[in-house]
Chain A
Amino acid sequence: MSRREGSLAPQADSSVSLLPHLEAKIRQTHSLAHLLTKYAEQLLQEYVQLQGDPFGLPGFSPPRLPVAGLSAPAPSHAGLPVHERLRLDAAALAALPPLLDAVRRRQAELNPRAPRLLRRLEDAARQARALGAAVEALLAALGAANRGPRAEPPAAAAAATSASAASGVFPAKVLGLRVCGLYREWLSRTEGDLGQLLPGGPA
């Protein structure tokens, strides 16, 4: 791997022979992130359509509700070393599945005759988990994985206690939009960060 800003070198000399394999893994994970970003766009479009106007209207700017355990990529994210960025990406991808599951359960009540939306939300949770695992595996292979116990994503129980105060349908729609938006943002961020590991420079 070339010595360029943001690139990582494998820890052990013996892994030089693994470089092609590692590079292939990076490409594969990058391609997966790219594909899932497209799916996330489709999910978002379908979601807003089913919530009704004004959700799908241009200029719709709902409050950016805080989501337990997950925030949007910070403006400073792009300036971090690539291994830090990928760690944040992996952490966000690990936090997303329970959020997407919660949105799916609520949408099953609000839009029970929308099987495609419900299926997309279910797939999104599974795909976020898979991509997060792939990014963590890459970090481990690059010797940049977290040492010590991994921080668990927010437990569903912890989220439920704070969620009990909120039961309105409109806020639930807004929250679902926020979660779908965060999902898309983090996928796009992961794709960009992985692209920086590819030979030839940033994607």
Chain B
Amino acid sequence: MPAGRRGPAAQSARRPPPLLPLLLLCVLGAPRAGSGAHTAVISPQDPTLLIGSSLQATCSVHGDPPGATAEGLYWTLNGRRLPPELSRVLNTSTLALALANLNGSRQQSGDNLVCHARDGSILAGSCLYVGLPPEKPFNISCWSKNMKDLTCRWTPGAHGETFLHTNYSLKYKLRWYGQDNTCEEYHTVGPHSCHIPKDLALFTPYEIWVEATNRLGSARSDVLTLDILDVVTTDPPPDVHVSRVGGLEDQLSVRWVSPPALKDFLFQAKYQIRYRVEDSVDWKVVDDVSNQTSCRLAGLKPGTVYFVQVRCNPFGIYGSKKAGIWSEWSHPTAASTPRSERPGPGGGACEPRGGEPSSGPVRRELKQFLGWLKKHAYCSNLSFRLYDQWRAWMQKSHKTRNQDEGILPSSRRGTARGPAR
């Protein structure tokens, strides 16, 4: 049996709506037949039932001439004629129906149970609401954008399928005082979400919960207690720029600006960078970018377009000890690494073949250093500075060597000297 409190008796008819200008003159659940000769009443009207339960219903005919007979009447449910063995004539004017093991309602407006005259005309109808009471909503998570608002999301119990319209209401109150408040802006970030736009207090905890209600009952989630300052997120860092690092073919420089909404509070912001090759779906993430607004990516492929994104975690606002919530990623920014200038069969980013004039001990050492760098592609200014100098020297000496080879005989070729240091 599903969890949650049961509402009013499951088989009670739905309470009539408040007075509405519905415009019917005389219906009483008994639409006139096409000829206007007979009407009928189905009982119960609009019952609410648990899945798997049974229903006993009657269709009582009355009209002119009196003594209208129940013979020939039949039932349909959602347009499908029900087997005659489910019906029986109770008396001359009443046809009964027995349905067992009911399935969940096909539509939220209710299953249409209709009583027909022999000629197929509709005498009366009743809508069945078959479903389950709601289960406890769970997994409430909330975040505040720049400490100005609060958005919460939750998961409905039983995967949300009650077969009945279930209303979810997010409630909140200050922990030690204050009245219950109800969130009013629903479905802001998905079907089970709500947004509280204003009038939120800082430095004091809130209690937040979700109430689910349908015709069969209600259920309440566990209470989540939080301080707004512990669930702050912000906008993605703006003005993300990606550029080459001089002629270095395997590096790109990324710069961004601290999110302006929190610029006066972001004393300990963390950042993350992710990047991928243009035609790949696999992102690489650079994690260790704390409180900086620039970073250099290394170990990249030469002559390749990269997409880069940055996001921010504004943790530690006003001394909060909690982790903070990552912003969305910034819009992708693209840049390309320079093409490799080393000679090779296809040009571009190819490694040189063995036996080429530039191969030798220095080239082998360069290859090893590059391999090590690819595994450790993080922002380390000290090592990059040295590496930049070394690479620049290598490229310059390689160019000079090639030029010499162009004018000198091959017997005069020698190995390149290593860096001066």
Contact = CB atoms under 8 A, between A and B. Distances in A.
Contacts of B126: 168-170
Instruction: Report which residue of B21, B29, B32, B76 has the largest number of chain A beta carbons within 10 angstroms of its beta carbon.
Output: B21
A102 B22 contact: yes
B109 A166 contact: no
Interface in B1-40: 14, 16-17, 19-34
B114 interface: yes
A50 interface: yes
Contacts of B20: 102, 105-106, 160, 163
A123 B30 CA distance: 31
A69 B31 CA distance: 18
A24 interface: no
A110 interface: yes
Contacts of B124: 170
Interface string A90-114: 0000000011011001100111110
Given A54-B78, A61-B122, A169-B46, A110 B29 contact: no
B19 A52 contact: no
Contact of A99 (B23, B45, B78, B108): B23
- Which of B22, B108, B112: most chain A CB closer than 10 A? B22
Given A65-B24, A168-B126, A171-B24, A50 B31 contact: no
A175 B80 contact: no
A173 B19 contact: no
Chain B, interface size category, equals 35 or more
Contacts of B33: 63
A164 B121 CA distance: 25
Contact of A112 (B24, B45, B165): B165
B80 A53 contact: yes
B127 interface: yes
Contacts of B107: 50-52
B156 interface: no
B127 A170 contact: yes
Contacts of A102: 20-23
Interface string A71-97: 000000000000000000000000000
B29 A171 contact: yes
Residue with the greatest number of chain B CB neighbours at <10 A, chosen from A50, A52, A109 = A52
B21 A57 contact: no
A57 B77 CA distance: 13
Given A54-B76, A62-B31, A169-B127, A160 B17 contact: no
A55 B112 contact: yes
A179 B30 CA distance: 18
Contact of B125 (A66, A112, A156, A171): A171
A185 B165 CA distance: 32
Interface string B99-119: 000000011111111100000
B190 interface: no
Interface string B121-150: 110111100000000000000000000000
A168 B23 contact: no
A113 B25 CA distance: 29
A106 B109 CA distance: 10
A173 B79 contact: no
Contacts of A154: 23
Contacts of A168: 27-29, 45-46, 125-127
Nearest to A174: B31
Interface in A155-191: 156-157, 159-160, 162-175, 179
A19 interface: no
Contacts of A53: 78-80, 106, 112
Contacts of B110: 52, 110, 169-170
Contacts of A62: 31, 122
Interface in A30-77: 50-55, 57, 60-69
Nearest to B128: A169
Given A63-B31, A174-B31, A51 B23 contact: no
A166 B21 contact: no
A48 to B, nearest CB: 11
Contacts of A165: 24, 26-28
Contact of A170 (B21, B108, B125): B125
A156 B109 contact: no
A168 B125 CA distance: 8
Contacts of B31: 62-63, 65, 170-171, 174
A57 B112 CA distance: 13
Contacts of B111: 52
A164 B19 contact: yes
Contacts of B34: 61, 63-64
Contacts of B22: 102, 106, 159-160, 163, 166, 172, 175
Contact of A159 (B23, B26, B28, B79): B23
A57 B127 contact: no
A179 B79 CA distance: 21
A66 B25 contact: yes
A110 B109 contact: yes
Contact of A175 (B14, B23, B121): B23
20 contacts: A51-B107, A53-B78, A54-B112, A61-B121, A62-B31, A65-B31, A66-B25, A67-B24, A102-B20, A102-B23, A105-B20, A106-B20, A159-B22, A162-B24, A163-B20, A163-B23, A169-B14, A170-B31, A170-B112, A171-B125
3 tightest Cβ-Cβ pairs between the two chains A and B: A170-B125, A53-B79, A163-B22
Given A68-B25, A112-B167, A168-B125, 8 more contacts: A52-B110, A53-B80, A63-B32, A67-B24, A111-B109, A112-B108, A166-B26, A173-B112
